[in-house]
Structure 1
Amino acid sequence: MTSPSGPSERPWFDATLPTETRIDILMEAMTLSDKVAQTHQVANIDPEADADALRAGRISSSLYASGATAGNERDAGVLVGNIDAAQRHAVEGSRLGIPVLFGRDVIHGHRTVGPIPLGLAASFDPSLAEEVAAIAAREAVIDGVAWTFAPMVDLSEEPRWGRVAESLGETPVLSGRLAAALVRGFQGDDVSDPDRLAACAKHFVGYGLAAGGRDYDTVSVGENTLRNLHLRPFKAAVDAGVTTVMAAFNDVDGTPMHAHERLIRDVLKGEWGFDGVVVADWNGVGQLVNAGVAADLREAAALAIRAGVDLDMCSGAYLAHLVELVESGEVDVALVDDAVRRVLRLKLRLGLFDRPYAVRPGASNAPTPETREVALRAGQAAHVLVKNDGVLPLDASAGSAGTTGSAGSTGSTGSVLLSGAFVDDGDALLGTWVLDGRPEEVVTPGVALRERLGDHVTVADGRFSDVTLMQARVAETTVLLLGEHRSRSGEAQSVTDIGLPPGQLDVLRAVAALGKPLVAVVYTGRPLDLSEVLDLAGAVLVVWHPGTEAGNALADVLLGEVEPHGRLPMTFPLSTGHIPTSTHQRPTGRLIRADVDHREGRYIDALTYSRLPFGFGLSYTTVEYSAPTVSSPTLATDGSVTVSVTVTNTGDRPCREVVQLYLRDPVAEVTRPLVELTDWSLVDLEPGQAREVTFDVRAEQAAYAGRDLTTRVDEGEIVLLTGPDAAHLGAVSVTVRRSS
């Protein structure tokens, strides 16, 4: 449905014209005030209260959220009737008829909710991530949402920071590939498709380095580290066609990102050729005043538009001051024109001029068997088995002879106690940044295990530890559901201690002291200090916050109906005091030796290794790796080599192995990571099966930003390493040579 006046009076509504032509015609018809209005975003439009502003064309965009930290607080949901009513004011009641762009945080699902992004990253499966995002897009557009503020691609080695829950892991390659997959899922091949919405790569850039893991804090980092680590997943998202990028709250070495002309205008827009919209974070422009780089909103508006921020979210600085700043000559009108063109381009790409209203009025976006099946697979893939002394899998017959567990041992049988606060709390299992998923639509662990085990399972919420202990005395096996409530992770939910919440270890210790089979299931939005959990429990599963199908996914894995195949997308440190611990570690002037690890500037009271390395995860069988081989000892700078490794399932259960390839550059112009993930392969193995896994390695995969910040590939040795995780690797060397 288009404006009643039609394309003859408003030629920018003529869908037969090229997009840039439509923009040119519309820009000619716009006053400076009209243009500035297109850079103004508000929150939660009320079609009645805001009717005059909409008819005057003073609102370009609106997001629907409960507030600045919407992931932590529920709202009334999106009301498609309100969106359509507001759109009628803008399209049919204004002079230019420019539609409003409506956004909402659709992070890891809308009504059908998948695992939190960190849990989705544990799958190491881009195709699965794309499916989850595509479902979220289809459900969200039914509510009138055209734009989501996802994916978040900030890299972090700081689990105290609550927003790691929303991240895709600590490595550039994993985060970048999953980001590209999510962009494809949200946007499809054509973002104007009625089932798709615009994606947003955030937060540009360095937010994961916030000091002390404190949200909104300062960042001290050089551009070399940004280029070699933190900018890379953003570049992957841009290359995948992401239509918007969000500026970060933090500063970078003293310059707030909302005023960072070098990184936004020069690198993102100039060097990378990004032609989409750069949107501020909530009041990010206004916060330039709080940061002490702008005296008032007027100065903040000037700094942000010069830096390249196109759309001002919720501060009102652009609407209040850009006209005056242009008329006074303090801001070049070309900067405003560039921002407006980008906003209009996004609206045209989305098809809003041609289809401004709800695409399927009255349609339901409730979870269906098909969407639940995808959520179930995603939930299963997020389960990371980090310890198993033969306790798992449980015997589904609960009382018959045991099943075969890890490495041929006998799994647990008999009665099962399922205890913990998560047993029937659907809301807690959805995870952070879920605005529209409904707790009553979540399959909880209690529901799923009751259905599978019937009278052989006792389900208790664990409110009284003495009762839990009595129940554990009677049961043959106890499954304790531990971890964090979803509100303990997400925005503004940083912690000083990454241990379990108070009281949980006390219960674990008491149950473990009974000497019976004990399984610990850990729901979390961040890496935790699991040292004592790993010491006390016979089996430990890290399952993040799994979403709508949480209970069924857990039951499938516990009972061995699905093999656990998730892998850790972040390093789990030994303790809070060991942060940061990650694969970002680079060599120093002091070599690390295991026998003197406590000396030479290390810790005197602890070793420095990780408790659980990046990429780690077990299955219900055992897998052996051969030493890697390489097709050629030399690698031309414009060529490639093949690295091969044989993986063998030496147990009697099938598995999916995540075969990982890492790279080390021993001598470079700048210090390089000791190991860096560069590729991986998902390999399904039947019992006893051996498969040769090959990786094509191009010289450009060893490229990095040198001292002058330009990309380079050095001649000389590089080491290629294969294995099941970052700490257990076999190595082979090749020599890079210039092409003749």
Structure 2
Amino acid sequence: MSNTGFVNPESPLRGALYRDPAQPVGVRVEDLLARMTLEEKAGLLFQTILTMEPDGTLSEDPARTPAPTARHMVGDLHMTHFNLLGSGDARRIAEWHNRLQELAEQSRLGIPVTLSSDPRHSFTDNPGTAMLSGPFSQWPESLGLAAVADPELVRDYADTVRREYLSVGIRLALHPQIDLATEPRWSRINGTFGEDADLTSRLVAAYIEGLRGPGTDAALGHDSVSAMVKHFPGGGPQLDGEDPHFEYGREQVYPGGRFDYHLRPFRAAIAAGATQMMPYYGMPVGTPYEEVGFGFNKDIVTGLLREQLGFQGIVVTDWGLVSDGEAFGQLLPARAWGAEDLTPAQRARKILDAGTDQFGGEHIPGLIVELVRGGEVSEERVDVSARRLLTEKFRLGLFDERRYVDPDVAERTVGHADFRAAGHAAQQRAVTVLTDSGLLPLAGRPKLYLEGVDPGTAAAYGEVVADPADADLAVLRLGTPFEPRPGGFEAFFHAGRLDFEPERLKEILALLDALPTVVAIHLERPAVIPEIAERAGALVAVYGTSDRALLDVLFGRARAEGRLPFQLPRSMEEVRLGRPDVPQESTYPVFPFGHGLTM
């Protein structure tokens, strides 16, 4: 593999300025842009999902991928931005990435691929939002980082993500997610830093700095991973907590008048040097802005983000705004909220007119070519977005030494023992002790009755018994309640009620009354658990914590530092009466924002 980025050194492009690393980025961009056909420019404006074969090869079977093959998209559609779905070991990912770059190198101009990823360093396994860590080091979810509330920890986490991503060729993080968790029922809360704008603002700055890497002076460099901050202008205030991945969740509302409150973390992200932004699917209702999805919304993208806030970087739509798609056998209509009656071409034109640069989850660059050739969009407008996208490729070094990665380095880097140890320590720190009747820390080797805890792991801490009657105490791991939704893709989104069904609550309380019990509840949303809080021997919150990390804390081998990143409401009635855009609204929560006992 060459490091020049071009197959044929004898080609007429040999002396092209854009191939010369000594030239300023601006000169290289303009030289390359002038050489591009309209079709090649249009290809830049699309980013979609690619999967890899288990052996690290490119899939050539269209039936096995959610989009056409890489060969077709790179060679025929001129696309150079892709989102890796799924995982494999580090060597296989690195080899797959290099094969993709080799394919791009064979194109007329040899424009390299920018590979992106949703989060893949924690416990969530939802193909629409994040992937289980697999070979990568495993850390708490963003809520757990927020529970520790230490910008230095977030910077270290993001720096680890950077180094692991960089080793396998991932150069664009489709995160951080800095929406505010002001509507407790919303299914995307587990990816946020909680409900407080000031805390989120501090943490997002550290996150961007960590991904950018040391010595970059607030600008992307060859060792950086770019951050796509989402979801502008804040995706938390969803009507009834429903998510706009689905038509019934398309409305975003501000009955408390807190639109500007949700903007604060994005101001901090821009100040920290963010270069990419993703608007959410939702459409604002009852505001001065046009009632159309944010990716289509010129008032939001150009008027607010670019002109008022001064952001001049790349804006990418969330996935699937223009055309219908499919996931897990389920038809997913285009999330063209407020623009349902427009044709795909009209939607694409509206998105470009809004000031958006790239279409996420789509592979239809011919649509842009048709709009330009038909006189509905100017080629100069396409050039504006193409210029931004090319600039980032050059800044990341993709045209130079950073095009390819070394699979041996990837194998040594991803999941390195030091990274795993740091992730484990962060999991421990994030544990939040909500109540303790004197049960903690656990001592000796008690007889343990377990629910939701691996007996093999627990055997290192006590004697595991099968009957509560034989136990000294119980350790019960619970998840936040939710309403199961139908359909393959929709079922991944945990939304709706936050309290346990009566029969399940009865079972839990019976155990708590039978023997001293430590309840560890995974808070992916603010659970409604007043009865459990009252009757548990000890209640702790976790946000992505292994059994070993949890038991280390319970047995006093590690220190819990977590504080709640949101309130825990007292009842579902209180939740239903709340205003989706207002933080910390409960006047009598079970636990307030910031609550946590020190062990």
Q: TM-score range by the shorter chain?
A: 0.7 to 0.9
Decide whether the 8 Å contact of 2:236 with 2:580 is kept in 1.
no
- 1:31-87 CA-partner distances (Å, limit 9, x unpaired): 222211110223216475443542356112111125xxxxxxx78997332322221
1:234 aligns with 266
2:234 aligns with 206
In the alignment, is residue 54 of structure 1 matched against residue 77 of structure 2?
Answer: no
Deviation at 1:130, TM superposition (A): 1.4
Decide whether the 8 Å contact of 2:449 with 2:474 is kept in 1.
yes
2:24 aligns with 18
Indicate which of 183, 187, 192 corresponds to 1:162. Answer: 187
Structure 1 CA distance for aligned equivalents of residues 120 and 93 of structure 2? 19
From the superposition, tell whether residues 28 and 273 of structure 1 become closer, same or farther in structure 2 (CA, over 3 Å).
same
Amino acid at match of 1:160: R
- 1:89-138 CA-partner distances (Å, limit 9, x unpaired): 212x2221111111111254551111111121111111111111211221
Indicate which of 319, 335, 344 corresponds to 1:282. Answer: 319
Q: Which protein, 1 or 2, shows the higher relative CO under an 8 Å CA cutoff with sep ≥ 6?
A: 2
Unmatched segments (≥5 aa) in structure 2: 52-57, 61-68, 123-132, 286-290, 324-333
Amino acid at match of 1:26: L
Structure 2 CA distance for aligned equivalents of residues 316 and 618 of structure 1? 51
From the superposition, tell whether residues 222 and 485 of structure 1 become closer, same or farther in structure 2 (CA, over 3 Å).
closer
Structure 2 CA distance for aligned equivalents of residues 33 and 587 of structure 1? 50
- 1:416-472 CA-partner distances (Å, limit 9, x unpaired): 314112x12xxxxxxxxxxxxxxxxxxxxx454322x3xx4216xxxxxxx5xxx22
Structure 1 CA distance for aligned equivalents of residues 517 and 403 of structure 2? 54
1:542 aligns with 541
Map 1:454-473 to 2 at 5 A: 456-458=462-464, 471-473=467-469
Deviation at 1:587, TM superposition (A): 12
SS at match of 1:560: coil
- 1:277-309 CA-partner distances (Å, limit 9, x unpaired): 111111123335564455211001100011122
Indicate which of 370, 380, 386 corresponds to 2:428. Answer: 380
Structure 2 CA distance for aligned equivalents of residues 14 and 616 of structure 1? 56
Larger Rg: 1
Deviation at 1:195, TM superposition (A): 5.0
Amino acid at match of 2:532: V
1:325 aligns with 371
Amino acid at match of 2:33: M
From the superposition, tell whether residues 587 and 24 of structure 1 become closer, same or farther in structure 2 (CA, over 3 Å).
closer
1:576 aligns with 572
In the alignment, is residue 611 of structure 1 matched against residue 590 of structure 2?
Answer: yes
From the superposition, tell whether residues 10 and 250 of structure 1 become closer, same or farther in structure 2 (CA, over 3 Å).
same
In the alignment, is residue 313 of structure 1 matched against residue 322 of structure 2?
Answer: no
1:496 aligns with 496
Decide whether the 8 Å contact of 1:150 with 1:200 is kept in 2.
yes
From the superposition, tell whether residues 323 and 149 of structure 1 become closer, same or farther in structure 2 (CA, over 3 Å).
same
SS at match of 1:387: strand
- 1:603-652 CA-partner distances (Å, limit 9, x unpaired): xxxx95211111111123xxxxxxxxxxxxxxxxxxxxxxxxxxxxxxxx
Deviation at 1:264, TM superposition (A): 0.9
From the superposition, tell whether residues 180 and 107 of structure 1 become closer, same or farther in structure 2 (CA, over 3 Å).
farther
Deviation at 1:497, TM superposition (A): 1.3
2:447 aligns with 416
Amino acid at match of 1:98: I
Indicate which of 101, 104, 113 corresponds to 1:87. Answer: 101
SS at match of 2:226: coil
Indicate which of 401, 411, 417 corresponds to 1:369. Answer: 417
- 1:563-596 CA-partner distances (Å, limit 9, x unpaired): 32200001110122211659975999xxxxxxxx
From the superposition, tell whether residues 512 and 222 of structure 1 become closer, same or farther in structure 2 (CA, over 3 Å).
closer
1:258 aligns with 295
SS at match of 2:183: coil
Indicate which of 386, 403, 406 corresponds to 1:360. Answer: 406
Structure 2 CA distance for aligned equivalents of residues 531 and 54 of structure 1? 55
Structure 1 CA distance for aligned equivalents of residues 220 and 273 of structure 2? 13
Decide whether the 8 Å contact of 2:479 with 2:523 is kept in 1.
yes
Deviation at 1:367, TM superposition (A): 2.5
Unmatched segments (≥5 aa) in structure 1: 67-73, 399-414, 425-445, 460-466, 589-606, 621-740
Q: Which moved more, 1:568-577 or 1:307-316?
A: 307-316
Structure 2 CA distance for aligned equivalents of residues 281 and 612 of structure 1? 34
Deviation at 1:526, TM superposition (A): 1.2
1:247 aligns with 279
1:273 aligns with 310
From the superposition, tell whether residues 107 and 268 of structure 1 become closer, same or farther in structure 2 (CA, over 3 Å).
farther
In the alignment, is residue 506 of structure 1 matched against residue 553 of structure 2?
Answer: no
1:449 aligns with 458
Deviation at 1:168, TM superposition (A): 0.7
In the alignment, is residue 529 of structure 1 matched against residue 523 of structure 2?
Answer: no
From the superposition, tell whether residues 208 and 534 of structure 1 become closer, same or farther in structure 2 (CA, over 3 Å).
same
Map 1:543-692 to 2 at 5 A: 543-546=542-545, 550-579=546-575, 585=582, 609-620=588-599
Structure 1 CA distance for aligned equivalents of residues 408 and 32 of structure 2? 33
From the superposition, tell whether residues 584 and 62 of structure 1 become closer, same or farther in structure 2 (CA, over 3 Å).
closer
In the alignment, is residue 99 of structure 1 matched against residue 106 of structure 2?
Answer: no
Structure 1 CA distance for aligned equivalents of residues 516 and 522 of structure 2? 20
Deviation at 1:393, TM superposition (A): 1.0
Q: Name the structure with the higher strand share.
A: 1
Q: Which moved more, 1:569-578 or 1:182-191?
A: 182-191
From the superposition, tell whether residues 295 and 552 of structure 1 become closer, same or farther in structure 2 (CA, over 3 Å).
same
2:471 aligns with 475
Decide whether the 8 Å contact of 1:47 with 1:83 is kept in 2.
no
From the superposition, tell whether residues 299 and 316 of structure 1 become closer, same or farther in structure 2 (CA, over 3 Å).
farther
From the superposition, tell whether residues 484 and 273 of structure 1 become closer, same or farther in structure 2 (CA, over 3 Å).
same
1:215 aligns with 243
Structure 2 CA distance for aligned equivalents of residues 587 and 43 of structure 1? 37
Q: Which moved more, 1:97-106 or 1:503-512?
A: 503-512
Amino acid at match of 2:200: S
Structure 2 CA distance for aligned equivalents of residues 41 and 369 of structure 1? 33
How many residues align? The count is: 537
- 1:399-421 CA-partner distances (Å, limit 9, x unpaired): xxxxxxxxxxxxxxxx2314112
1:696 aligns with none
- 1:683-703 CA-partner distances (Å, limit 9, x unpaired): xxxxxxxxxxxxxxxxxxxxx
Structure 2 CA distance for aligned equivalents of residues 296 and 582 of structure 1? 35
Decide whether the 8 Å contact of 1:106 with 1:136 is kept in 2.
no
Decide whether the 8 Å contact of 1:132 with 1:185 is kept in 2.
yes
From the superposition, tell whether residues 221 and 31 of structure 1 become closer, same or farther in structure 2 (CA, over 3 Å).
same
Structure 1 CA distance for aligned equivalents of residues 302 and 192 of structure 2? 25
1:197 aligns with 225
Deviation at 1:258, TM superposition (A): 1.3
Deviation at 1:172, TM superposition (A): 0.9
What's the TM-score, normalizing by structure 2? Answer: 0.82
2:125 aligns with none
- 1:224-251 CA-partner distances (Å, limit 9, x unpaired): 9465211111121121112211121111
Structure 2 CA distance for aligned equivalents of residues 114 and 4 of structure 1? 40
Structure 2 CA distance for aligned equivalents of residues 366 and 25 of structure 1? 37
Indicate which of 46, 53, 63 corresponds to 2:83. Answer: 63
Structure 2 CA distance for aligned equivalents of residues 487 and 377 of structure 1? 32
Decide whether the 8 Å contact of 1:213 with 1:494 is kept in 2.
no
Structure 2 CA distance for aligned equivalents of residues 448 and 487 of structure 1? 30
Deviation at 1:543, TM superposition (A): 1.0
Amino acid at match of 1:300: R
1:140 aligns with 165
